Amino acid sequence: MHINKRTALLLAFDIVATYAAYFIAAILTDLLGDIIATHEIYFMVGVLAIINIVILALFHLYNNLWEYASIDEVIQILMALSLSTLTGAVFLWILDVWIPIRIYFVAWFILIFLVGGVRMIYRVMRPRRRALKLAKVANQPRTLIVGAGETGSLVIDRMATKDPLMPGIPVVATDDNAAKLGLRIHGVKVEGTSEDILKLVELYNIEQIVVAIPSATLDERRKIYAICTRSECRLRTLPNVRELRVDELDGVALRDVDVADLLGRDEVVLNTRSVAGYISGKTILVTGGGGSIGSELCRQLCTVAPKRIVIFDMYENDAYLLRKELLPQYGDIDLCIEIGSVCDKTRLNDVFEKYHPEVVFHAAAHKHVPLMEVCPREALHNNVFGTLNVVRAADHYKADRFIFISTDKAVNPTSVMGATKRMGEMVMQYYARISKTVFSAVRFGNVLGSHGSVIPIFKHQIACGGPVTVTHPDIERYFMTIPEASRLVIQAGGMAHGGEIFILDMGEPVKIVDLAKSLIQLSGLRPDVDIKIEFTGLRKGEKMYEELLMDEENTVPTNNASIMISTGQEISYDEVAAKLDELETAIDGTDTEAIRILEEAVPTYSFTPNVSGKPTTTTNETPSAE
């Protein structure tokens, strides 16, 4: 039970109510004199009060959302007080303490009114008090609420009391539960289902739609968002109020629906129990710790209570801001910043010597495909030999685990960036055979909102009035959120035994042009009317369709449905060492020579982009990453 100010007040009131109920019961039954004369009544009623509190807590009656109490909560109170009264009577009987049964019965009846009454008064009075405190907000948008459940009730109630965190005038609601049609929630009528949204928008001149169905299934959410984005309304949502503590309710605010909502992936929760063994109490090094993936890895790792996190990054501003963000929440964790490049062997070894990390997450990399096409030697320097430096340091300083962040662009690569990341995988697998450190890699696709990704670029183009540029109308990519990818990376690290390439379930691929249209619609604009979409042609090294498996690879499942293990042909470890020697000489040569040697070193590297059709991946009966 989470103790806060409100819960403490309810606890105190329930204790007082128990004393009051039994004394009033004794008076009403003309037994007050007998009870006081024959029993240590104050102590005994105190015992009964404790029993009441324990059983009320077991029924979650200190954490319910009393603003939205209904007949269900009344039944809970009746059941809890019946059980607590019976338990108290039996307990005192065992102690050989006699109190007349009619006192128990009358006290139970009084307690129902006292315990239930104070909660119902809170439900009735609190919205009125909030309405008096909050300043009136003018020019509110006319709002349609999708969902007539508890979350929808919260939205309507807050809007009606002019809560600035939930701006809007609640006009009409919809719900796919036919039993709710025609009913009213705080005076707002439920007039249709999700199929009626567009009709109601036009009928009631709706300016804002609030989707208040966080508990809906994945398919239900996709369907509703698809309907809502066809309107010109601002589209907003909020968290599930059942997942919040009572003291968090006042801070609940509407937020704009974003691309992650439209993609409709179920949220991945980090299984802290499965990863605690290799994270908790340990020193963790995250290279590229200030970047999109690296910083989110640090955030997620903090929830598993490591002893120390070392944020290693070239860019001091990102690392500084991340530490400043995490310190107030995780002051018990030693958060260290070390500035440097993975290409600097001396600096890297200094950091390993100083901290002796037990777990290394290697997220540092050059990842921008077009830029690496014009700077191939930099890609080699950072993505191959930077990785090699970190791998060697992890081996030399006897780290327990090393997790390499790879990419779907390493599969049958057509770009320098993808080929260098594939070479990084080969380096990892090479050392997995000869080292006591457990080396593994995690391969996944694009993450929403990462630095340099398509989403921030599209948003900037929309803000500037367009056009939004897409390379090809049929180009597709896999997407997941940064927190989702980071949690799965950490969980995959806990499954590693050495040499695995873990494949994350990326769901269904998304057409980039559809993503662009959704972003335009979320901005309240119309694709190809308010904002033009232009096709610019595939860029050098860019694939039409990304793959998660090479032609010779299949997958085997793990105990986590979102994580699979690649099973491909074993590489020649002697050959890897020879290829590294050749690539090292290429860094000092020309770009053309570097690309030629990289093509020889990575057999699956093909400079010709796949524009003819979707890739075919050989699979057996085990599940594929696609």
Distance CA 39, CA 393 (A): 75
pLDDT at 200: 92
- Number of helices (H), then strands (E), belonging to the chain: the values are 22, 22
pLDDT at 511 exceeding the cut of 60: yes
Cβ atoms 267, 488 nearer than 8 A: no
Three-state SS for 97? coil
pLDDT at 619 exceeding the cut of 60: no
pLDDT at 342: 95
pLDDT at 519: 81
pLDDT at 23: 84
Q: How confident is the model at residue 449 (pLDDT cuts 50, 70, 90)?
A: low
| pLDDT tens figures, 241-280 | 555 554 455 667 788 877 777 766 666 666 767 788 899 9
Cβ atoms 348, 340 nearer than 8 A: yes
pLDDT at 297: 93
8-state DSSP, 486 = H
pLDDT at 123: 61
| pLDDT tens figures, 466-493 | 898 988 888 887 777 888 888 889 988 8
pLDDT at 621: 31
Please give the torsion angle defined by the CA atoms of residues 588, 591, 594 and 596, in that order, rounded to the nearest 10 degrees: -150
Q: 278-448+479-506+547-601 in CATH: which number? A: 3.40.50.720
pLDDT at 129 exceeding the cut of 90: no
Other beta carbons within 10 Å of 422: 27
Taking residues 52-77, report their average pLDDT.
72
Taking residues 70-98, report their average pLDDT.
82
**Please, which residues bridge with residue 554 across strands?**
567
pLDDT at 135 exceeding the cut of 80: no
| pLDDT tens figures, 185-197 | 888 889 989 899 9
| pLDDT tens figures, 412-423 | 888 899 999 998
Q: How confident is the model at residue 554 (pLDDT cuts 50, 70, 90)?
A: low
| pLDDT tens figures, 531-549 | 899 988 877 766 676 665 6
- Cα 356 from chain centroid (whole Å): 31
pLDDT at 162: 80
Cβ atoms 609, 544 nearer than 8 A: yes
Three-state SS for 460? helix
Ranking 3-17, 64-78, 610-624 by mean pLDDT, the lowest is 610-624
Residue 585 sits at the vertex; the CA angle it makes with 583 and 590, to the nearest 5 degrees, is 95
Checking phi first, is residue 223 left (phi over 0); if not, alpha (psi -120 to 50) or beta? alpha
Active site residue 409: yes
- Fold type of domain 142-257: Rossmann fold (3.40.50)
pLDDT at 34: 65
Q: How confident is the model at residue 516 (pLDDT cuts 50, 70, 90)?
A: confident
pLDDT at 2: 53
Other beta carbons within 10 Å of 219: 9
Cβ atoms 192, 176 nearer than 8 A: no
Pairing of strands 359-362, 188-192: unpaired
Choosing from 162, 180, 409, 543, the catalytic residue is 409
Token pair recorded at residue 99: 């109190």
Cβ atoms 482, 447 nearer than 8 A: yes
pLDDT at 250: 60
Cβ atoms 155, 170 nearer than 8 A: yes
Q: How would you class 409 by CB atoms within 10 Å of its CB: exposed for 0-12, middle for 13-18, buried for 19 or more?
A: buried
pLDDT at 613: 40
Taking residues 168-178, report their average pLDDT.
90
Looking at residue 147, its amino acid is G
Q: Quick one: angle between helices 41-58 and 5-28, nearest 10?
A: 130
Each residue of 57-66: b (16+ CB within 10 Å) or e?
bebebbbbbb
| More reliable by pLDDT, 384 or 62 | 384
pLDDT at 389: 95
Q: Where does the chain hold its CATH 3.40.50.720 domain(s)?
A: 142-257, 278-448+479-506+547-601
Q: For 348-478, where are the E strands, in sequence order?
A: 359-362, 401-407, 438-444, 446-448, 468-470, 476-477
Pairing of strands 533-535, 563-567: unpaired
Taking residues 370-386, report their average pLDDT.
90
In percent, the amount of the chain with pLDDT more than 90 equals: 23
Q: What is the mean pLDDT of the chain?
A: 81
| pLDDT tens figures, 322-357 | 999 999 989 899 999 999 999 999 999 999 999 999
Helix locations, 496-610, DSSP H? 512-522, 573-586, 591-601
Q: Which of 171, 223, 164, 179 is nearest to 200 (CA)?
A: 171
Distance CA 580, CA 604 (A): 16
Cβ atoms 165, 158 nearer than 8 A: yes
Ranking 333-347, 376-390, 548-562 by mean pLDDT, the lowest is 548-562
Q: How would you class 371 by CB atoms within 10 Å of its CB: exposed for 0-12, middle for 13-18, buried for 19 or more?
A: middle
pLDDT at 12 exceeding the cut of 90: no
